[in-house]
Structure 1
């Protein structure tokens, strides 16, 4: 189910540093010094508390507990007795040590739904410059956590192409499994070590991504290859040809020719451009439900980062690498 950006006291639960983000909402911080400062600005300074559950007849439910938001009393989820919530300040605070030494910079933070899913985007230094051109992809870590038992605390490696704000979805473990899980322990030395390990993984990951992106940008697919690539990224239904799938593939082809930044000579008509036609469609054009433009933008973000949109982009990445071999 899609979730809208959470709000607290009529304020959107989000902060950002630098440029105004995709929807123009949230509290701006020039340079948040700590995760706690970012969390407070984003309205994420609440606790996820466990509460006993009773039936409408006042009968206790011994095997389940409700996760309740401390400031609003909203129920964020129902979990088993063994569930231990990871608080927002714990989820994001372990990176403070490497933020302090300049290895990382908090960029954006927010929540979805009633606050059951929280996330923080942090920027790594240096960028990926495709074939030495002006096509730049920035390196980010996306930390996400849930308070409804649906997912653990995860760190996703999330490259973002600057010219169009497209987010790539690249599997970090042998082609499967977005990101890595973080084990929480209370002592500072462990948190610093975990943060340094994540940065080490990110450095190796992005070194490999630079090589792979350049490979895509050196490959020029034939019209037949391109048609088959888009067909595999978004195939027809098992029942037969689909008008909707056909229209989406035609939109891929339009964006391949006319997408943002696709006229750069170094990348025009390459497999890298074909991949970005898919990511641009998912991030900016894919139809999304919602009563307001903000609702639709929020739901599109969740899909592009965590849901079906992310899976489409991951498939597009894997198929593009296969085509460029």
Structure 2
């Protein structure tokens, strides 16, 4: 016996990375027996991407479909009603696992802070995530876009997380109502980054924290230390340089070719791993 959804599954076609508004629908989940008989489940349903017939997730009967179009359009509208200065705002879209998870990242040049030296600037960044596979709820993450990086974007610490599950009680307003809080939260953390830029660290502390983070991965350990020394040449031997060696890894460490379709999710998992480091006793000891 094989378990299928009611729509014939086909190999997904290649789509543009910035195409978040592909069509989806909920369809019944059932089973086809060897004799050709079919039975339909009353307890499970599938999210199907109808332009490729890719099954993006299997859920219980209480699941409520929140489409990317609904989620991201509502957030865009809320942004324009918020107190955020949208001058020069840029938007980047990404998908993972053929659309099972989608990311929209906004960068706000009008909200720029200086950390350490005069040319080390970080812009406010807001990332929205929606998934059809149940891996995450509709959520928002606030961070920074550091301009002083020859290789491009470096994502900073996540310091606000608001989420809502895909259920019949979905109320998207409980997420977008937090938008006006982001500036204060961002500035509070910018002050923390400024403190880190004034906190020197020893080679011993550097190696201890990196070893703790790498968990036996010698290649990662070496890469982080090399990144730190590169950062330190620019901004000094301090905690800010160490922090940016980790965030540089989240974005720029290679993703295997076979995993490129999931690169956005891999980067997210790396960022969450760095976040756990920032909450660890090892990091708090250095930042005290």
- What TM-score, normalized by structure 1, do the two folds share? 0.72
Output the CA distance in 2 between the equivalents of 1:300 and 1:320.
Answer: 27
Question: Do 1:170 and 1:317's aligned partners in 2 also have CA atoms closer than 8 Å?
Answer: no
Does structure 1 residue 114 correspond to structure 2 residue 81? no
CA contact (8 A) 2:13 2:52 kept: no
Give 1:51 deviation, angstroms: 0.6
**Structure 2 spans left out of the alignment, 5+ residues:** 1-11
Alpha-carbon separation, structure 2, partners of 1:100 and 1:214: 30
Residue of structure 1 in register with 2:144 after alignment: 159
1:137-186 CA-partner distances (Å, limit 9, x unpaired) = 111110001112222100011222223311123343xxxxxx1114799x
Contact 2:111/2:124 (8 A) holds in 1 = yes
Matched, 1:138 2:123: yes
Match of 1:280 in 2: 248
| Shift of residue 75, structure 1, vs aligned partner | 1.2
Is the Cα–Cα contact under 8 Å of residues 137 and 159 in structure 1 kept in the other structure? yes
Q: Cα distance 1:126–1:279, how it changes in 2: closer, same or farther (>3 A)?
A: same
**Residue 324 of structure 1: CA displacement?**
2.1
Q: 2:73 aligns with which of 93, 108, 112?
A: 93
Change (3 A) 1:155 1:193: closer
TM-score scaled by length of structure 2: 0.80
Count of aligned pairs between the two proteins: 262
Query: Is contact 1:275-1:316 (8 Å) kept?
Result: no
CA–CA separation in structure 2 for the residues paired with 1:83 and 1:154:
16
Partner of 1:312: 273
Q: Deviations over 1:217-256 (max 9, x none)?
A: 00001122222121222233xxxxxxxx234222222111
2:163 counterpart residue number:
181
Equivalent residue, structure 2, for 1:248: 220
Distance (whole Å) between structure 1 residues aligned to residue 139 and residue 156 of structure 2 = 17
User: Could you tell me how far apart the structure 2 residues matched to 1:182 and 1:63 are?
Assistant: 22
What corresponds to 1:27 in structure 2? none
Q: Is the Cα–Cα contact under 8 Å of residues 63 and 166 in structure 2 kept in the other structure?
A: no
- One of 22, 30, 46 as aligned partner of 2:22: 46
